[in-house]
Amino acid sequence: MTVRTLVLLRHAKAETPGELPDFDRHLTAAGRSAADAAGSWLADERLRPGLVICSTAARTRETWQGVSVAMAQADPDAHSPEVHYEQSLYDGGRTEVIDLLRAVPDTVHTVLVIGHNPTMSDVSILLRPWEENAVLESLKTSGLAVHRAEGSWSDTEPGSLPLVLAHTARG
C-alpha cells in the first residue's frame, strides 16, 4: 500500500493590512527569512513534495518562493515539484482543501499545501483521528503540520491522516 504524506504550511509573516488589498499583502523581512527556514526544515526532514498546491495570494506565492529556494540549495540535484496555484485556497475553506487533496494522483507521494488560517489549522485538526484532537493548537505563521497515512488520496476524509510531525519555522 502507498504511504501518502501531506504537509500543511501556513504562509509566513505578512505585512500589516494597509492600503493594499488583503490578497496583495507581501511578506515582511522576517516572513521571508521564516519561509527560507521552512524550506530548510523540509529538506532536513526529507519532506520533498512531488506536488505543491499554493494559494494565489502574494504572501503564499512568496512563501513558496522562499521554501523552494531553500530546498533547492539544500539539494540542488533534486527534482522540482509540480506547482498548482489555486484561488480556492484563498477564497475557500477546509472543504475546498479536502476536495483538492482527493483529486491528487496516487503517483504523488508527498503534497505540500500552502495556505491561510484558519483554514490550514482547521484542515490539520479535521484530518487527525479523534483521539489526537486533545490539544487543538492553531498553526502560527510559517507553521507546518505533517500528516501521513497509507492509502489513496481519494480516500482523504476527516480522521484519515494522523499528525506525525509539527514545526514552526523561524529564520
* Structural domain boundaries in the chain: 3-168
Per residue in 77-89, pLDDT (tens digit) is 888 999 999 999 9
CA 55 to chain centre: 10
Task: Tell me which CATH code domain 3-168 carries.
Answer: 3.40.50.1240
CB 8 within 8 A of CB 115: yes
pTM of the model: 0.96
Instruction: Indicate the residue type of 44.
Output: D
pLDDT computed for residue 20 by the predictor: 86
Neighbours of 91 (CB within 10 A): 12
Tell me the C-alpha distance between 105 and 3, whole Å: 13
Sorted by sequence, the CB contacts under 8 Å of residue 146 that are 6+ apart come out as 5, 6, 7, 8, 45, 47, 163, 164, 165, 166, 167
Per residue in 32-78, pLDDT (tens digit) is 999 999 999 999 999 999 999 999 999 999 999 999 999 999 998 88
